[in-house]
């Protein structure tokens, strides 16, 4: 297994450009299955999860042309298979997002039942309940979700008991080709939901209300396809800003969408950072000062995002004062804490809350990545620490951060990847 070796004590300085959003790209890739005409997607991040999604489309018989690293052309006019196989779904849970579009377009979809992962059990009951409400018959057998519907799905009103990004996305795509209108109540409002809605509409769907708690999707007979550019990755951007705060540096991220980072920028300002924004850039300047500790509670957008919790925990680990971090979205998303403790962090956990007493300096150590964002927090801690940190199991990072070492190196970090 490859590892990252980080020499701490650097102060990140400079400018990088954001990549396309992983969490917008994955549903948009699934949405190509809805289209009878060709689709072209640009600003795709070059990430393992995107590669896995492209492999999944290929396994269904979709023609995918990868022309440049960040642009693909997809032709889903016909499929050879309606089954998303276990060996791909187990690599990436988000494969469940092909269920809705495949069922809606072809009346059948078989998707290996996605397992849980390090951060939680990750159920898909809301996905399945919504599809059944639209007329699907769903049977779980041999570890697969087997969904069928006679004729088209039928639009209806669906109220989701929990705010779920993935369930909202799956049902948006299923509703796009359904008979009649579907109303989604308690829909997720994340910027990636809005990006998917804009993409669906560009390809011929009729989605309104995206970004609010109530969305309406008026089913259309067919979708033509077309072009779409994926939005910037707000979590990648937030991660680099958190790294700048932890290392007392000054970093500007170009190609950004500051509007999608409201809660994150507000929390970073509370650390004492100076933050400036433009239409498509954001800059954090820590003014060479040690950050102040901040308290936060994760919740669905527009609240503070769970995908930034581990990174701010790392900032708190070296901040002045005590920060209380409460994770309410996933049941097991504080695993970075045990590794940060190995670096000298003073953190106690009570249920889903971490009490972080900032220390002046962390010590470099050998640490283990457990999931994507916990890995990012260990890299941040390693750059702020004294001495050398070795982060193992970094395949987690490659799922969600494009050219991480290259971008950090450009900002002055002493970081290199070595073979395991
Ligand atoms: C998406 O996951 C993101 N992944 C996650 O990002 C992100 O953390 C999460 O949304 C929350 O913002 C992608 O977009 C590919 P959920 P998703 O359904 O859709 C419960 C990252 O690091 N739930 O919004 O799987 C669930 O257990 C990843 O980039 C049900 O109970 O998240 C959780 O407690 C990690 N039943 C809560 O909802 C369901 O049917 C939120 O999950 C579905 C979800």
| Residue 131 banded pLDDT, cuts 50, 70, 90 | very high
Which residue is it, tokens 């804490």? 337
Q: Would strands 83-84 and 63-68 be described as parallel, antiparallel, or unpaired?
A: unpaired
From the CA of 371, give the closest atom in ligand 1.
Answer: 22
Q: What is the pLDDT of residues 26-52, one digit of tens each?
A: 999 999 999 999 999 999 999 999 999
| Catalytic hit among 11, 35, 117, 199 | 117
pLDDT at 48: 93
What percentage of the chain has pLDDT greater than the value 90?
95
Separation of alpha carbons 269 and 267, rounded Å: 5
Query: Is the predicted pLDDT of residue 220 greater than 90, yes or no?
Result: yes
Q: List Cβ neighbours of 343 (8 Å cut-off, separation of 6 or more).
A: 317, 362, 363, 364, 365, 367, 381, 382, 385, 389
Q: Which residues line ligand 1 (CB under 6 A)?
A: 22-23, 26, 94, 120, 122-127, 162, 164-167, 188, 306-307, 329-330, 372-373, 400
Query: Is the predicted pLDDT of residue 420 greater than 80, yes or no?
Result: no
Q: Could you please report the per-residue DSSP string of 328-353?
A: -S-TT--THHHHHHHTT-EEEEETTE
Per-residue pLDDT, averaged over 388-393, amounts to: 95
Longest dimension (CA), the chain: 64
From the CA of 305, give the closest atom in ligand 1.
Answer: 12
From the CA of 190, give the closest atom in ligand 1.
Answer: 12
What is this structure's pTM?
0.98
pLDDT at 1: 83
pLDDT at 263: 98
pLDDT at 121: 85
Phi, psi torsion values for 189, nearest 5 degrees: -120, 10
Q: What is the pLDDT of residues 322-331, one digit of tens each?
A: 999 999 999 9
pLDDT at 241: 98
Q: What is the pLDDT of residues 174-198, one digit of tens each?
A: 999 999 999 999 999 999 999 999 9
Q: Which of 95, 113, 122, 130 to mutate to test the pocket of ligand 1 (most atoms within 8 A of CB)?
A: 122
Query: Is the predicted pLDDT of residue 69 greater than 90, yes or no?
Result: no
The answer to whether 117 is a known catalytic residue is yes
Q: Which of 80, 148, 88 is nearest to 112 (CA)?
A: 88
With residue 186 as reference, give the H or E element that holds it.
none
pLDDT at 115: 79
């Amino acid at each position: 297994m490859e590892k990252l070796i980080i020499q701490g004590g650097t102060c990140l300085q400079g400018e990088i450009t954001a990549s396309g959003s992983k969490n917008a790209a994955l549903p948009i890739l699934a949405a190509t299955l809805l289209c009878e005409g060709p689709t072209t997607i640009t600003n795709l991040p070059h990430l393992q999860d995107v590669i896995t999604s492209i492999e999944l489309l290929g396994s269904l018989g979709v023609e995918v042309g990868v022309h440049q690293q960040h642009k693909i052309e997809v032709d889903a006019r016909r499929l050879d298979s309606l089954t998303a196989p276990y060996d791909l779904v187990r690599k990436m849970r988000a494969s469940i997002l092909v269920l809705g579009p495949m069922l809606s377009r072809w009346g059948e979809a078989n998707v290996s039942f996605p397992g849980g992962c390090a951060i939680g059990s990750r159920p898909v009951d809301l996905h399945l309940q919504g599809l059944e409400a639209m007329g699907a018959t769903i049977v779980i057998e041999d570890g697969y979700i087997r969904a069928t519907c006679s004729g088209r799905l039928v639009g209806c009103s669906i109220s989701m008991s929990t705010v779920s990004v993935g369930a909202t996305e799956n049902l948006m795509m299923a509703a796009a080709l359904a008979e009649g209108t579907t109303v989604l109540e308690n829909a997720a409002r994340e910027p990636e939901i809005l990006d998917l809605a804009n993409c669906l509409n560009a390809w011929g769907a009729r989605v309104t209300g995206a970004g609010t708690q109530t969305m309406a999707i008026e089913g259309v007979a067919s979708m033509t396809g077309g072009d779409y550019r994926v939005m910037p990755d707000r979590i990648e951007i937030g991660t680099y800003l958190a790294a700048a705060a932890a290392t007392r540096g000054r970093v500007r991220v170009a190609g950004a969408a500051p509007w999608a980072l409201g809660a994150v920028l507000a929390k970073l300002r509370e650390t004492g950072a100076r933050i400036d924004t433009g239409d498509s850039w954001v800059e954090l300047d820590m003014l060479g000062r040690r950050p102040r500790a901040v308290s936060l509670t994760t919740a669905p957008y527009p609240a503070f995002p769970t995908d930034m919790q581990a990174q701010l925990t790392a900032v708190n680990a070296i901040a002045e004062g005590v920060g209380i971090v409460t994770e309410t979205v996933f049941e097991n998303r504080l695993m970075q804490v045990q590794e940060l403790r190995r670096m000298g962090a003073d953190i106690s956990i009570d249920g889903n809350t971490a009490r972080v007493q900032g220390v002046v300096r962390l010590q470099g150590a050998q640490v283990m990545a457990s999931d994507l964002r916990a890995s990012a927090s260990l890299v941040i801690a390693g750059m702020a620490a004294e001495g050398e940190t070795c982060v193992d199991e970094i395949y987690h990072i490659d799922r969600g951060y494009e050219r991480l070492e290259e971008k950090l190196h450009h900002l002055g970090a002493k970081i290199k990847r070595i073979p395991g």
